[in-house]
Chain A
Amino acid sequence: NAGVMQNPRHLVRRRGQEARLRCSPMKGHSHVYWYRQLPEEGLKFMVYLQKENIIDESGMPKERFSAEFPKEGPSILRIQQVVRGDSAAYFCASSQDGRGNGYTFGSGTRLTVV
């Protein structure tokens, strides 16, 4: 079992470009969660998805950010028109059920906006 796979590990974007972060959950896990960690801060919840559905997006910025988890393929966190303040580590976690027991995190994608 390869665990939660995130790619790319590092992503550099110029201001105004789009960033796409991918997350493949553990085998058998149908619940995906995205978190953002700004430098020297704790992780902040962004969004919780179950296959094809957004369950909780209370932590997502209202503009420029979107997430999806299609029936086939990885979950995608998309950031449009990136700004320097979007520079952070973005972590994905998956779980087998909605209770969140057995959360497993990926290694993260480090986004740098120049």
Chain B
Amino acid sequence: DAKTTQPPSMDCAEGRAANLPCNHSTISGNEYVYWYRQIHSQGPQYIIHGLKNNETNEMASLIITEDRKSSTLILPHATLRDTAVYYCIVRVAALGTASKLTFGTGTRLQVTL
């Protein structure tokens, strides 16, 4: 799985958009970008994933650059409950041993009043 690079921490004011960047310059053509978050010692929570097109769901939007070497997770209106560590993971979505997720150190997002 390709290695990812994320800033260790970010702050965001409540109600504003939180934009979390991720670099994955060695990504392969068949690797997806996944985002998970972990809220204070709970189990990680799936947020969104994509291959090359931008994606949006009820939680967030995922913007992937055209060369796929970086992406940005956007929380459009951050709330205090979005305070968490956000992990960007790049992996092949295929059967068998590729199913494991390789977590880095993530970005600790602090949402403030």
Contact = CB atoms under 8 A, between A and B. Distances in A.
A42 B105 contact: yes
Contacts of A1: none
Interface string B82-101: 00000100010111111111
Interface string A76-114: 000000000000010101010111111111111010000
A48 B91 CA distance: 15
B45 A105 contact: yes
Contacts of A35: 101, 103
B45 to A, nearest CB: 7
Nearest to B106: A42
Contacts of B38: 43
Contacts of A104: 46
A82 to B, nearest CB: 20
A91 B44 contact: yes
A59 interface: yes
Contact of A107 (B43, B49, B87, B106): B43
Contact of B104 (A42, A56, A91): A42
Contacts of B105: 41-42
Contacts of B102: 45
17 contacts: A31-B99, A33-B100, A35-B103, A42-B104, A43-B44, A48-B99, A55-B99, A56-B99, A59-B100, A91-B44, A93-B44, A97-B95, A98-B95, A101-B49, A102-B46, A105-B44, A107-B42
Interface of B: 38, 41-46, 49, 87, 91, 93-106
